[in-house]
Amino acid sequence: MSGFAGIVRMEPTLETAEVDRAAIARMADAIAFRGPDAHQQFSRDGASFAFSMLTIGPAPQAAEQPVTLDGETFFLGEARIDGRDELIAKLKQHGSAITPSSTDEQLVLHFVSRFGIASLPELDGDFSFVIWKPRERRLFAFRDLSGTRPFFYLKRGGRVAFSNTLQAVLTVGDLNLSDYDQQFIANFLLGAPQYDPERTIYEDVRRLPAGSLLEFSALGFSPRSFAAYPIEEPLLDAPDVQLIDEFRRLFVQAVRDRLPESETAILLSAGLDSTSIAAAAVGHRKSHTTGPLRLSAFTVDFYPLFQEEEGFLAQDLSASLNLPFELIHVASVLPMEGVDDGPFKLPEPTDHPYPGLQPFCISRFHEGSRVFLTGDGGDEILRAEGAPFLRYLASRFGKARAATVLLNYVFSRGRLPALGAGLRSSFLRMMRKGPLAPVFPAWIAPEFEKKLGLRERFFELTSKPWSAHPFHPWSYAKLLRFIPPLMEGQDATFSGRPLEARAPFLDRRLIRFLLRLPPIPWYMEKELLRRAQCGLLPDRIRRRPKAFQLDPLQLHIAAGKWFPRIPARRPAVLDGLVDWPQLDNLLTTATNNELYVHLSPVLLALWLNAVENSNWIQ
């Protein structure tokens, strides 16, 4: 992912121009690691920009930024457009002088010129960029719904500083890095650091939430929600073969638009999502090149903590597709490793108990890889829960229609569909055989809890996500709430390496189609993928039930490799927030999911200690 950074003032002076030139030089240094291919700085009309280029493709990229077509409107940022051919044809119809060699940055500028800022949510692709209009003194920033590409900013008076790299914003100056955001800390301790998606650990630094637009002008400063996945009518009566063909078309298109010509890694498991992506990527490469595929596959397992068949199945599939393959054993990476002593220092605390895992895995990717494909989003979208759909049918078409759908599934498949109504989980809890209901952490200080209303927030966070979608409420909610932080966490800001994660299942065109599919039968046990991949994936993978991985935390503890404990040094920031003796007692007795909640203050304390004991952030 290329790096970009900028500072814009509404009322610049000669004095502030010098201040901003010095600040943008520091920001340029902070983003240099993201783009080894080119570096630029630009200052004019109260705007200072920096850019570091990572050449990826498959579309042409601008070699320099900011980009302008007319000297009046400037583009700075990241844009990867899906459906380029269709967009070029549309722009030509509206009179734009555009060619297939036009860069994605130029396409965005043409699009804004023809259809306006308000039409940005209609663009398909991954975006994090600004549009600067110096004559009007107006700045717009846009981030797409997937959250793949981050955007951070700092607003002070008549100036805003921004970047896709948090480390760059932290270098701007007149920023007290010891002023931490209490709401962020509260959310982090409850296990949901991005519950308020605009907050960062720093009081004065904000992130632009996925699907949001920021506007800055003499009239004011306005970040706001701007885009959403549409809620459309379900495809109830379309023939099966038509739906499968349309899914295949959209899926192959999503993979193709994300696949560069250069060396590409595929993070592979033996599940349906990533294996389907691998098969589509190989199929596309074989049909468009006679040379090497320039694809490689990687699978991660926790051997020798436990033996699983994921790696062996993924290796067999890679061999059948003629892909170089590496099985990466990560059992040597221990919990908490890398929070305060790793080679790359995180600009924000992580709630992942294995912060050293991502740098370890990425370091094993092929040296020339700048893109890796993942199956992220597949599980979240294709969530097999049929009860909302049956309720929708009953309310819209009558109970007979809902009963017909249910009985047809039972008689044709010989089993009940997954309803997702919570009946089975409730029954197992009553029989003490299932996961226990969440318990509010007893180590949170009572005054802190009351001051911020944390008990109510905790139960909201641990309840099942919900949305207004009438027949896919949980899939829709997960797309908006869980996918952006998941994808942002794979960005170079948090990995430290110029490597871009791309997730075909998050293609907006594909998501729109999937959200129109009836969950019964298509979402049940991922029937859509199993039928669509017939003849493309081996049956031992295509028909394989979903595998659930054992908990590596518990296995590390059982093997005597690691034990949860509170840090010897407790940061002053957490005084009055955490009851450390209570936490110490719970860490020694917690099991299963309880342990993850109790590790939040440990992870936060280790990160704070690392910041306070060094000047690496500055």
For position 496, which CATH number holds? 3.40.50.620
Amino acid residing at 534: C
Residue 410 tokens read as 């039972």
- Domain boundary, last residue among 225, 249, 267: 225
Please report the pLDDT score of residue 616 as a whole number: 46
Going by C-alpha positions, the residue among 214, 228, 284, 212 that lies closest to residue 254 is 284
- On whether both 377 and 440 belong to a single domain, the answer is no
Beta bridge partners of 154: 161, 205
442-458 burial, b for 16+ CB within 10 Å, e for fewer? ebbbeebbeebebeebb
Rounded Cα distance between 297 and 313, Å, is 12
Detail the DSSP E strand segments found in 10-64: 38-44, 47-53
Going by C-alpha positions, the residue among 268, 263, 367 that lies closest to residue 310 is 268
- On whether both 283 and 257 belong to a single domain, the answer is yes
- Is omega for the bond preceding 304 within 30 degrees of 0, making it cis? yes
Rounded Cα distance between 537 and 54, Å, is 33
Residue 127 tokens read as 């975006």
Residue 317 tokens read as 């599939």
Asked whether residue 175 is domain-assigned, the answer is yes
- On whether both 202 and 130 belong to a single domain, the answer is yes
- On whether both 87 and 203 belong to a single domain, the answer is yes
Detail the DSSP E strand segments found in 10-63: 38-44, 47-53
Residues in the chain with pLDDT values less than 70: 341-343, 366, 421-437, 614-618
Amino acid residing at 67: V
Rounded Cα distance between 113 and 146, Å, is 24
Q: Are strands 500-502 and 371-373 parallel, antiparallel or unpaired?
A: parallel
Rounded Cα distance between 477 and 380, Å, is 9
Please report the pLDDT score of residue 431 as a whole number: 40
Asked whether residue 395 is domain-assigned, the answer is no
The phi and psi torsions of 311 (rounded to 5 degrees) equal: -65, -40
Taking the alpha carbons of 476, 479, 480, 481 in that order, is the dihedral positive or negative? Answer: positive
User: In the 8-state DSSP scheme, what is residue 547?
Assistant: P
Q: Which residues contact 492 (CB under 8 A, 6 or more apart)?
A: 1, 3, 33, 34, 165, 498, 499, 500
Going from the C-alpha of 517 to that of each of 430, 522, 524, the distances in angstroms are 34, 7, 12
Amino acid residing at 414: G
Residue 436 tokens read as 């226990």
For position 126, which CATH number holds? 3.60.20.10
Going by C-alpha positions, the residue among 222, 264, 172, 320 that lies closest to residue 502 is 264
Asked whether residue 214 is domain-assigned, the answer is yes
- On whether both 510 and 525 belong to a single domain, the answer is yes
- On whether both 164 and 76 belong to a single domain, the answer is yes
Rounded Cα distance between 128 and 115, Å, is 19
Residues 97-120: tens digit of each pLDDT: 888 899 999 999 999 999 999 999
Helices and strands in the chain, H and E counts: 25, 17
Q: Which domain holds residue 8?
A: 3-225
Max distance between CA atoms of the chain, in angstroms, equals 78
Rounded Cα distance between 186 and 165, Å, is 24
Determine the Cα angle at 181 with ends 177 and 186, to 5°: 140
Asked whether residue 263 is domain-assigned, the answer is yes
- On whether both 569 and 602 belong to a single domain, the answer is yes
Asked whether residue 396 is domain-assigned, the answer is no
Please report the pLDDT score of residue 429 as a whole number: 41
The phi and psi torsions of 174 (rounded to 5 degrees) equal: 40, 35
Residues 325-382: tens digit of each pLDDT: 999 999 999 999 888 766 678 899 999 999 888 888 887 776 778 999 999 999 999 9
- On whether both 61 and 149 belong to a single domain, the answer is yes
Query: What pTM, to 2 d.p., does this model score?
Result: 0.94
Going from the C-alpha of 496 to that of each of 30, 56, 355, 369, 489, the distances in angstroms are 11, 17, 12, 15, 11
Query: Locate tokens 């389907």: which residue?
Result: 276
Measure the N-to-C terminal CA separation of the chain; round to a whole number of Å: 23
User: In the 8-state DSSP scheme, what is residue 17?
Assistant: H
Asked whether residue 400 is domain-assigned, the answer is no
The phi and psi torsions of 281 (rounded to 5 degrees) equal: -65, -45
Asked whether residue 97 is domain-assigned, the answer is yes
- Domain boundary, last residue among 548, 575, 609: 548
Determine the Cα angle at 272 with ends 270 and 273, to 5°: 105
Rounded Cα distance between 608 and 601, Å, is 10
- On whether both 575 and 539 belong to a single domain, the answer is no
User: In the 8-state DSSP scheme, what is residue 265?
Assistant: E
Q: Which residues contact 18 (CB under 8 A, 6 or more apart)?
A: none
- On whether both 480 and 464 belong to a single domain, the answer is no
Rounded Cα distance between 553 and 166, Å, is 30
Query: Locate tokens 């919990």: which residue?
Result: 335
SS3 content of the chain, % helix, strand, coil (to 5): 40, 15, 45
Cβ distance 340 to 469 under 8 Å?
Answer: no
Residue 45 tokens read as 């009309």
Cβ distance 443 to 336 under 8 Å?
Answer: no
Residues 523-539: tens digit of each pLDDT: 999 999 999 999 999 99
Asked whether residue 420 is domain-assigned, the answer is no
Cβ distance 373 to 277 under 8 Å?
Answer: yes
Going from the C-alpha of 73 to that of each of 117, 136, 137, 216, 315, the distances in angstroms are 12, 10, 11, 15, 50
- On whether both 215 and 87 belong to a single domain, the answer is yes
The phi and psi torsions of 159 (rounded to 5 degrees) equal: -135, 140
- On whether both 216 and 151 belong to a single domain, the answer is yes
- Domain boundary, last residue among 225, 256, 285: 225
User: In the 8-state DSSP scheme, what is residue 303?
Assistant: T
**Structural domains in the chain (count):** 3
Cβ distance 518 to 236 under 8 Å?
Answer: yes
